[in-house]
Every structure is written in structure tokens, then in C-alpha cells.
Amino acid sequence: MSSPKILDRTADRRRSTGESHQALAPLLPDDGVLRIPAAGHEEQARLEGEVFLALGAVGGLSSHPLGIVRLRPEPDRLTIRVTDAPYVVMCWADLLLPRHTGEPSGDPRDLITGVPGLRYHRDRGGIHLHRPGMPARITLTGFPARWWDRITDQMHRDYGEHLLQPHPGWTPGERAAYDADTSWPHPPGPVFSPLLRRIRATAGRGTVNSTDAWTSGGGYRMEATDGPPCPDLIHLLGDGPTGAGWQVTHKRCTCRCDHEHDHCTVDFLDPPTGIAVHYGNGRWGRTADKAHNQRMAELNAQVFG
């Protein structure tokens, strides 16, 4: 049986990633806590950051933010266990797989939805997301692979040639969108790759959680509708032993008072990049009540209906 001291050494990582102590115990160093590895190279971090931003529209569908039950972060890959709900899996495919919008625009980024260049292949290990010629991979597990096949088959019927998965390499439109994002002064990879690798830290104790982020005012805004107490989030994303190193520059926190539904705000700064992330916790108090569960059952049934 594990002693409390050993359990403490994996506690912060378990809270941030959803991994079990049993899975992490073999990785423990001789002393100290078990840290969360960063992406080992720029392209891995960039892919993770772009995937995180694209998934913001998933919304609050379960107790798992973005539908993520658990992650296994490694330097050269990120493995994500997605909740086994067909509608959540459909949202992931629809939000991530790139396609032409068909709308005229002077900005190449407006011509592509999803993550430019993203492709997938599947094997017994899961659904592997990657970019042609790029050393980066995200693997999705937790649901039957046949779901992904049925969902993407329907996407091919719905979007036709606009869906870019059949192209083995980059299309010119995707490359233009990728290059345009490269010049963005606030790249998401250095900030949101560490956050995605700790996404469970943004989940509150309730039965419905949602985490979203978007560009705002020369930085980013992040919102949790029902996030954890702010001191816990600051510990897990800040300078805690497994944190992302974010610094708090300002906060208005009501977590310790009796106003249960007051909105909390925390302004974070990522010191290496100088990028600001303005966080808000709406504390909506949502629950998976009968109406929520019935709606989710209807959405799941429609996926394969």
C-alpha cells in the first residue's frame, strides 16, 4: 500500500492530468514530486496550443473540461482520453479537422476552419492527430475507433471536397493559414500547450465544467464556467512544483466568502513570453440535472441516428 507521503508526491500531477497514482508511481524520482513534462519541441507545443483553442466551442457537456477525462503528457506526444460520449467525439472531429470555408476573405486564416494541416490515422492505439512532415502527435483514446470512422464518413458526405483530410500533404490554403499564424505576436503554443497538459486543473467540483479561451486585447482571455477555487488553480498553474510557471499580476477572488456565485477574475502573466492571460471563473453553479442528462442523451442519439 502506498504511504501518504508517496501519494502526496503525485497529488498535484494527478489533479492536473487525471492520471492515477498507480500509473505514475513507476515514474517517481528518487525524491521530490513528479513534474509534468513540457512539450519537447516547438511544433508539438504549437499543435497542442492550436488544438486547445479550437476546442473552446465544445462547451459544458460533462464534468470533464473539453470532454477530457485524462492526459498522459510526454515530451514528444500527448495522449488524451476523451469521454465516451458520441456527441463529444463528434464535436472534437468537427472542430479540429480542417476544411475550406468557401467564403472570400483577405486573411488566409478565415479561409480554413479547424487546425490547418491537421490529419489523422488510426490503429489499435487510438486516433493519432498529426501534421504532414511535422514531428508532433496527439493521440485520442477512450472511445471506440469506429465512432470516429462513422463521424468522419458523415463529415465527408456533408462537406465534400471542402474537408481536407483526404489530402496527404498540406494544401496551399492551409499552408498560407499556418504561415499567417506564425507571424502572430502572441503564439498560443508556449501558453496553451502547458495549459492543455494541465487542463484538469481548470475543472471545478461540480458535474458540469467548461473551459474556453480566445484572443483578446493583445493577449488571451480564458473562462471557466464552474472552475475550482482560485487558490487551487493558482497553485496548479502558477509556481507550484508541477505548475506552468504563470505569475499572478492581479486578482479579484470571492472564493472564501459567502457569495457563492460571484464572478472571480485572475490576471496571469507567462514570464518567458510576456503574454497575459485574463482568467474568469463564472461560478454558474450548473449541475447535470434531469434536463441536462436528457439533452445529452438526445444529442448522443442524433450522432448515429
Average pLDDT over all residues of the chain: 92
Q: Which of 202, 256, 218 is nearest to 60 (CA)?
A: 202
pLDDT in tens, 167-223: 999 999 999 999 988 877 888 999 999 999 999 999 998 888 999 999 887 789 999
- Residue 218 has a pLDDT of 75
Question: What would the mean pLDDT of 115-126 be, rounded to a whole number?
Answer: 95
Region for 229 from its dihedrals, namely left if φ exceeds 0, alpha if ψ lies in -120 to 50, beta otherwise:
beta
Q: Does 127 have pLDDT greater than 90?
A: yes
- Residue 260 has a pLDDT of 59
- Residue 185 has a pLDDT of 80
pLDDT in tens, 251-277: 998 886 655 557 899 999 999 999 999
High-pLDDT (> 90) share of the chain, %: 75
Q: What are the beta bridge partners of residue 270?
A: 275
pLDDT category of residue 3 using cuts at 50, 70 and 90: low
pLDDT in tens, 58-99: 888 888 999 999 999 999 999 999 999 999 999 999 999 999
**Going by C-beta distance under 8 Å and a sequence separation of 6 or more, which residues neighbour residue 259?**
none
The count of other CB atoms within 10 Å of the CB of residue 48 is 25
Alpha-carbon gap, residue 108 to 203, rounded angstroms: 34
**Going by C-beta distance under 8 Å and a sequence separation of 6 or more, which residues neighbour residue 293?**
none
Phi, psi for residue 154 in degrees, rounded to 5: -65, -40
Alpha-carbon gap, residue 203 to 273, rounded angstroms: 25
- Residue 292 has a pLDDT of 87
For residue 70, give the C-alpha cell: 485524462
- Residue 257 has a pLDDT of 65
- Residue 103 has a pLDDT of 80
SS3 127: strand
CA 293 to chain centre: 23
Q: Which of 274, 267, 275 is nearest to 215 (CA)?
A: 275
CA 264 to chain centre: 21
pLDDT in tens, 234-251: 999 998 889 999 999 999
Alpha-carbon gap, residue 266 to 254, rounded angstroms: 11
pLDDT in tens, 128-178: 999 999 999 999 999 999 999 999 999 999 999 999 999 999 999 999 999
Residue 71 near residue 140 (C-beta atoms within 8 A): no
What is the pTM (predicted TM-score) of this model?
0.94
Measured on CA atoms in the order 65, 69, 73, 79, is the torsion positive or negative?
A: negative
**Going by C-beta distance under 8 Å and a sequence separation of 6 or more, which residues neighbour residue 230?**
251, 253, 255, 264, 266, 281
- Work out the end-to-end distance of the chain between its first and last CA atoms, rounded to an integer number of angstroms: 47
Cα separations in angstroms, 51 against 185, 248, 251:
18, 25, 28
Residue predicted with more confidence, 39 or 283: 39
Alpha-carbon gap, residue 229 to 234, rounded angstroms: 9
